[in-house]
């Protein structure tokens, strides 16, 4: 163990001891529920009574179910549009905001700030922006351009487009950050060598930048596919699958079947059908990875084009910062000004009455506390179990290593929805629903954190660890005294991801919470404050909805701003570039 060649071949129980904390969470909260869900999918079980074995009857029902066919068609349409558009948009934003332009940091922060906003806020905000009446700012400005008002969420023809637009605004910052990390890891010496060989800006992009970004593109596309097949929150908040089922997706239908109709067997079959579909698409993507490319320019040109870049960057800043400013503006208006046919960005009269009403009518402070406890607990426990597991995979050799690593990585691509039915039933049996335990533990074992940390740990020079071993340090001592102090960027990046994942989680808290004692902020906002389709309240509650959304957005933005200087650096160092 004192020499480099043998340091990775650790025998005995050491690797398994490092993996034990992760596996103690992974097995009962992911693997076993996923396997039990397969059993449930071949039964007729309405949560009470004894499950009746029905063989493949539930899967045969899927083929004949017109609602499932509609949900499948909508999900495929959404995926076919959102995945390539988001990859191109993320790459374009990264290329633009990697240029030495004044104001680029503000624009970067504005674009990524939309990603840290919870899905309930996104849904409430864009339902207001796309309001089909004259009060909606999109229709107002379209009218200024001579375009007739569009019904947006009110018509089947435009409802899915509305969901796609809101999702693009919400998630573009994620892909942008990934591509920025990849761009910043391309060695400056290589770029200089290409230029010295006479390559122009396009040739530099096509022959150097794009090939270097291929691993990032693959990661972005695979993750986008996984997310798009599991779209739920924004649909639930903005349309609940309507109008006329035009935005009904597979996961929305699964939720209705399992937790409105309580047909647990059929819901489990839908979850496994989703898993099978996602698996097929992912395998195809792996086969086609070498052909991935994206149309965009590596922009490094003369003054006229540079002026154009500033114009584009200003447009990006307006498109991403504008909705946030409109959110803030609406929250500060009295109700009489909110529905004005001529939008006012600066209120005639400023008021805090909407904020006062939020605290008088709703338990916002309790929802906020619950979300902070759940997100903070999931982040802390996630790091606690992921760090030793990632170190074991990065620095040790043991039997079953590759298969176990692939199994853990499956949590990234396998839909968590295949575990929802068994988890809910199991927690209900032991009376643990509507508790912090039920909210935190299912999100702790996250393969994404293990993957990123493993990539980073593999890049730490082995000589540093070997020197510590020579000085008498144990494996645990090496991890604590050598590896972790060098891993602050990666730990920060993973912490941000884990926090946002839990902070924005919507479907599981919606299912497992029943009272304000544990109800999280996204669920509380969508169910009680959102108004419109979800809360069944009047449009006059837009002011309260916007005020609550502002309050809900502040913690995540503050969290990100406090740690953002480590973020891109941490992602770059984790090895997504190759």
Write the DSSP assignment of 275-315 as a string of letters. Answer: HHHHHHHHHHHHHHGGG-----------HHHHHHHHHHHHH
pLDDT at 291: 47
End-to-end CA distance of the chain: 29
Confidence of residue 538 (pLDDT cuts 50, 70, 90): very low
Residue 288 lies in a domain: yes
Contact (CB, 8 A) for 489 and 574: no
Q: What is the DSSP letter of 49?
A: E
Residue 8: both structure tokens together? 């990775």
pLDDT at 41: 95
Domain range spanning residue 227?
Answer: 57-103+162-309
pLDDT at 92: 92
Closest Cα to residue 27, out of 511, 389, 478? Answer: 389
If you average pLDDT over residues 181-186, what whole number do you get?
A: 82
The winner for highest mean pLDDT among 252-266, 470-484, 516-530, 542-556 is: 252-266
b/e map 30-41, b = 16+ CB within 10 Å: bbebbebbeebb
Residue 4 lies in a domain: no
If you average pLDDT over residues 114-131, what whole number do you get?
A: 90
Residue 164: both structure tokens together? 């796609």
Residue 485 lies in a domain: no
pLDDT at 448: 87
Alpha carbon distance 36, 469 (integer Å): 44
Q: What is the DSSP letter of 42?
A: T
For residue 43, the SS3 value is: strand
CATH code for the domain in which residue 262 is found: 1.10.3720.10
Q: Name the burial class of residue 87, with classes exposed (0-12), middle (13-18) and buried (19+) by CB atoms within 10 angstroms of its CB.
A: buried
pTM for the full predicted model: 0.87
pLDDT at 361: 87
Residue 290 lies in a domain: yes
**Tens-place pLDDT, residues 190-230:** 878 877 877 777 777 887 888 888 888 888 888 899 899 99
Contact (CB, 8 A) for 224 and 176: no
State how far Cα 344 lies from the chain centre: 32
Cα–Cα distances (Å) from 75 to 70, 80, 357, 560, in that order, read 9, 9, 38, 31
Torsion of CA 69, 73, 76, 81, to 10 degrees: -170
pLDDT at 484: 93
CA contacts within 13 A on the Cβ side of 51: 22
Cα–Cα distances (Å) from 281 to 62, 252, 274, 277, in that order, read 19, 20, 11, 6
Residue 267 lies in a domain: yes
Cβ neighbours for 477, distance < 8 A, ≥ 6 positions apart = 468
- Report whether pLDDT(8) > 50: no
**Mean pLDDT across the chain:** 86
State how far Cα 425 lies from the chain centre: 26
**Tens-place pLDDT, residues 158-181:** 999 999 999 999 999 989 988 988
- Report whether pLDDT(86) > 50: yes
Residue 36: both structure tokens together? 């039990």
The count of structural domains within the chain is 1
SS (H, E, C) 248-276: CCHHHHHHHHHHCCCCHHHHHHHHHHHHH
- Report whether pLDDT(68) > 90: yes
Please provide the size of the chain in residues.
578
pLDDT at 577: 42
Closest Cα to residue 2, out of 544, 470, 406, 563? Answer: 470
* Helix (H) and strand (E) counts in the chain: 30, 2
Cβ neighbours for 330, distance < 8 A, ≥ 6 positions apart = 128, 338, 542, 543, 546
For residue 48, the SS3 value is: strand
- Neighbouring C-beta atoms of residue 320, cutoff 10 Å: 22
**Tens-place pLDDT, residues 293-339:** 333 334 444 555 667 778 889 999 999 999 999 999 999 999 888 88
Alpha carbon distance 95, 87 (integer Å): 12
C-alpha torsion sign, points 484, 485, 489, 491:
positive
177 vs 374 pLDDT, higher one:
374
b/e map 342-368, b = 16+ CB within 10 Å: ebeeeeeeebeebbebbeeebbbebbb
Residue 253: both structure tokens together? 């239908």
Cα–Cα distances (Å) from 272 to 74, 326, 344, 479, in that order, read 18, 41, 49, 39
Contact (CB, 8 A) for 408 and 389: yes
Residue 20 lies in a domain: no
Contact (CB, 8 A) for 28 and 36: no
- Neighbouring C-beta atoms of residue 270, cutoff 10 Å: 31
Residue 219 lies in a domain: yes
Cα–Cα distances (Å) from 292 to 190, 218, 222, in that order, read 22, 7, 11
**Tens-place pLDDT, residues 484-529:** 998 888 898 889 889 988 999 999 999 999 999 999 999 998 887 7
Residue 354: both structure tokens together? 């909407």
Alpha carbon distance 15, 10 (integer Å): 7
Angle (nearest 5°) at CA 68 between 131 and 502: 60
Residue 424 lies in a domain: no
Out of 64-73, 165-174, 463-472, 552-561, pick the least confident.
552-561
pLDDT at 252: 95
Helix H or strand E segment including 486: none
Whether cis (ω within 30° of 0) applies to the bond prior to 370 is no
């Amino acid at each position: 163990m004192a020499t480099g060649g043998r340091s990775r071949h650790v025998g005995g129980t050491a690797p398994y001891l490092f993996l034990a904390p992760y596996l103690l969470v992974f097995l009962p909260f992911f693997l076993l529920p996923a396997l039990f869900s397969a059993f449930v999918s071949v039964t007729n079980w309405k949560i009470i009574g004894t499950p009746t074995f029905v063989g493949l009857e539930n899967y045969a029902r899927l083929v004949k179910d017109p609602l499932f066919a509609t949900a499948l068609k909508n999900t495929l349409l959404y995926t076919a549009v959102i995945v390539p558009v988001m990859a191109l948009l993320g790459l374009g934003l990264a290329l633009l905001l990697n240029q030495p332009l004044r104001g680029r940091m503000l624009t970067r922060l504005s674009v990524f700030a939309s990603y840290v906003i919870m899905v309930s806020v996104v849904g409430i905000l864009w339902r207001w922006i796309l309001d089909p009446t004259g009060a909606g700012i999109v229709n107002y400005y379209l009218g200024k351009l001579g375009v007739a008002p569009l019904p947006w969420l009110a018509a089947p023809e435009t409802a899915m487009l509305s969901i796609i637009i809101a999702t693009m605004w919400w998630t573009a910052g994620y892909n942008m950050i990934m591509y920025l990390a990849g761009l910043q890891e391309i060695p400056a010496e290589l770029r200089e060598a290409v230029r010295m060989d006479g390559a122009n800006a396009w040739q530099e992009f096509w022959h150097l930048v794009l090939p270097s970004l291929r691993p990032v593109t693959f990661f972005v596309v695979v993750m986008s596919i996984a997310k798009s097949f599991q779209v739920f929150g924004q649909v639930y908040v903005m349309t609940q699958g309507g109008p006329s089922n035009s935005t009904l997706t597979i996961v929305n239908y699964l939720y209705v079947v399992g937790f409105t109709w309580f047909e647990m067997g059929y819901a489990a079959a839908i979850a496994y059908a989703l898993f099978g579909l996602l698996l097929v698409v992912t395998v195809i993507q792996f086969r086609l990875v070498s052909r991935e490319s994206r149309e965009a320019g590596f922009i490094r040109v003369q003054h006229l084009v540079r002026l154009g870049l500033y114009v584009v960057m200003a447009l990006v800043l307006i498109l991403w910062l504008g909705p946030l400013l409109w959110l803030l503006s609406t929250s500060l208006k009295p109700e009489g000004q909110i529905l004005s046919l001529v939008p006012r960005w600066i209120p005639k009269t400023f008021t805090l009455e909407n904020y006062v009403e939020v605290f008088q009518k709703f338990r916002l402070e309790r929802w906020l506390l619950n979300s902070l406890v759940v997100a903070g607990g999931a982040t802390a426990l996630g790091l606690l179990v992921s760090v030793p597991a990632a170190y074991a995979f990065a620095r040790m050799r043991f039997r079953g290593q590759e298969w176990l690593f692939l199994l853990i990585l499956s949590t990234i691509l396998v839909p968590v929805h295949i575990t929802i039915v068994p988890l809910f039933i199991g927690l209900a049996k032991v009376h643990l629903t509507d508790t912090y335990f039920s909210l935190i533990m299912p999100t702790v074992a996250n393969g994404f954190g293990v993957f990123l940390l493993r990539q980073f740990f593999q890049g730490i020079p082995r000589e540093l660890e070997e020197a510590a071993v020579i000085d008498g340090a144990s494996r645990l001592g090496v991890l604590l005294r050598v590896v972790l102090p060098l891993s602050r960027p990666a730990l920060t990046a993973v912490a941000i991801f884990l926090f946002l994942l839990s902070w924005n989680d919507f479907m599981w808290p919606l299912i497992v919470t029943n009272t304000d004692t544990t109800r999280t902020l996204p669920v509380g906002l969508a169910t009680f404050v959102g108004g419109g389709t979800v809360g069944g309240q009047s449009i006059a509650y837009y002011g309260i909805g916007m005020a609550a959304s502002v309050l809900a957005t502040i913690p995540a933005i503050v969290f990100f701003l406090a740690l953002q200087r480590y973020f891109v650096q941490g992602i770059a160092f984790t090895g997504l570039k190759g």
